[in-house]
């Protein structure tokens, strides 16, 4: 693989000790240390006493957890890179929460019941993801970021985290999964963003 090298003069090469290896950053992305907030609407604030997470298929409830019940599920910690379609990437972000594998197991499911799901959030946001992308330790419902409870602006109390897809798939304020047989666009996908959103293939918009 021969990638074009950035035009860095020799005198600056010493500073690249801190630079991330280029193989870690998808095409078209730049690395930031900030954590930008991107929300399509106001930040919803639901008291934990009223919070729950539920999973449905068709009209059937597959599982539902209150906040204390959710805390009792097996917790996972991951360190991952995240990539926003607006071109910022943030490396080595640390999250804790419940892996989707653990959620399915808690609902008594050996595997996802359908090939796709739509994640639904407080405030009306939604996003579609193939269920195969959510299992095998690749996704979680995150409730903690950088060793602290996830703040509301970044999706607290709980958000979906699917770090291998563009970050719009990581629905903030997530409250439930609707399992569906045939893929269906969520909020951004319905406005022209890609149905899958692989940052390594730059699947930003439909047709990419």
Helix or strand (DSSP H, E) at 165: none
Residue closest to ligand MTE when measured from CB atoms: 125
Beta strands in the chain (DSSP E): 30-31, 52-57, 60-66, 76-83, 88-99, 116-121, 126-130, 140-145, 148-149, 159-161, 174-180
Q: Is 100 in the site for ligand MTE (CB under 6 A)?
A: no
**Interacting residues of 188 by C-beta distance below 8 A, sequence separation 6+:** 40, 127, 168
Tell which one of 56, 120, 138, 154 touches ligand MTE (CB under 6 A): 154
Q: Which of 56, 172, 194, 204 binds ligand MTE (CB under 6 A)?
A: 172
Q: How far is the CB of 125 from ligand MTE (least distance, A)?
A: 3
Structure tokens at 89: 């990437």
- What is the pattern of x (binds ligand MTE, CB under 6 A) and - over residues 68-87? ----------------x---
Cβ-based neighbours of 157, under 8 Å, separated by 6 or more:
46, 48, 51, 67, 143, 149, 150, 173
- Residue 39 makes contact with ligand MTE by CB under 6 A: yes
Instruction: Tell me the per-residue interface mask from 146 to 185 with Mo ion, x by CB under 5 A, - otherwise.
Output: ----------------------x-----------------
Span interacting with ligand MTE, options 9-17, 59-67, 91-99, 170-178, rule CB under 6 A = 170-178
* Region class of 200: left (phi > 0), else alpha (psi between -120 and 50), else beta: alpha
CA max distance for the chain: 64
| CA dist., res. 207 & res. 192, Å (int) | 9
- Window 116-145: residues binding Mo ion (CB under 5 A): none
If binding is defined by CB under 6 A, does position 173 make contact with ligand MTE? yes
Q: Do residues 46 and 128 lie in contact, with contact meaning Cβ atoms separated by under 8 Å?
A: no
**163 contacts which partner out of Mo ion, ligand MTE, none, CB within 5 to 8 A by kind?**
none
**Is there binding between residue 125 and ligand MTE (CB under 6 A)?**
yes
- Does 192 interact with ligand MTE (rule: CB under 6 A)? no
Nearest distance from C-beta of residue 17 to Mo ion, angstroms: 30
Give me the residues that bind Mo ion (CB under 5 A), please: 38, 84-85, 168
Give me the residues that bind ligand MTE (CB under 6 A), please: 35-40, 84, 121, 123, 125, 154-155, 167-168, 170-173
């Amino acid at each position: 693989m021969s990638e074009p090298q950035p035009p860095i003069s020799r005198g600056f090469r010493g500073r690249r000790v801190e630079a991330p290896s280029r193989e870690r950053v998808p095409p078209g992305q730049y690395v930031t240390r900030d954590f930008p907030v991107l929300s399509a609407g106001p930040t919803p604030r639901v008291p934990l006493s009223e919070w729950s997470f539920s999973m449905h298929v068709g009209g059937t409830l597959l599982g539902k957890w209150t906040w204390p019940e959710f805390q009792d599920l097996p917790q996972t910690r991951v360190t991952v890179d995240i990539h926003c379609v607006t071109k910022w990437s943030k490396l080595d972000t640390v999250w804790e929460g419940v892996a989707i594998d653990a959620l399915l197991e808690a609902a008594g499911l050996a595997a996802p019941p359908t090939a796709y799901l739509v994640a639904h959030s407080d405030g009306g946001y939604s996003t579609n993801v193939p269920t195969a992308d959510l299992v095998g330790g690749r996704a979680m419902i995150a409730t903690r970021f950088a060793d602290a409870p996830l703040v509301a602006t970044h999706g607290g109390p709980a958000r979906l985290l699917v770090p291998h897809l563009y970050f719009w798939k990581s629905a903030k304020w997530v409250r439930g999964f609707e399992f569906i047989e045939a893929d269906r666009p969520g909020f951004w996908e319905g406005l022209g963003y890609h149905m899958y959103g692989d940052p390594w293939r730059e699947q930003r918009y439909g047709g990419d």
